[in-house]
Structure formats: structure tokens, C-alpha cells
Amino acid sequence: TFTLKHGWVHFPVGGGIVADSDPLDEYRETLHKASGMIRSLRTT
């Protein structure tokens, strides 16, 4: 779900951090999860 507030679009992207998580891998996974939502904004 997109939320528009003060000219900014917000949407949640979740993830789970565990003891052996690699911060860079988690960051990349978050970007990957968000990429479809970001693409949909660019095409409308």
C-alpha cells in the first residue's frame, strides 16, 4: 500500500534480521523487494 504524505510516497518493505544475517545482503534484499513497487511508480 502506497501512502502519500507531504509530497513523499511511503510504502512498507519488511525483512527479518537474525544472528548470522549479513547487513549488505539484507540491504540488497530490501532493495530487491522494493524494486517492483518503485517500478510501478515510474510507469504511471
Q: What pLDDT is recorded for position 21?
A: 95
Locate all alpha helices (DSSP H) within 1-44, ordered by sequence. Answer: 23-42
Mean pLDDT of 32-43: 89
Q: What pLDDT is recorded for position 16?
A: 86
Residue identified by cell 515510474 is 42
Structural domains in the chain (count):
1
Look at residue 43 and tell me whether its pLDDT is greater than 90. Answer: no
| Residues 2-36 pLDDT 10s | 999 999 999 999 888 899 999 999 999 999 999 99
> What does pTM read for this prediction?
0.67
Residue 16, SS3?
Answer: coil
**Which domain does 19 fall in, by range?**
3-42
What distance in Å separates the CA atoms of residue 35 and residue 13, rounded to the nearest whole number? 10
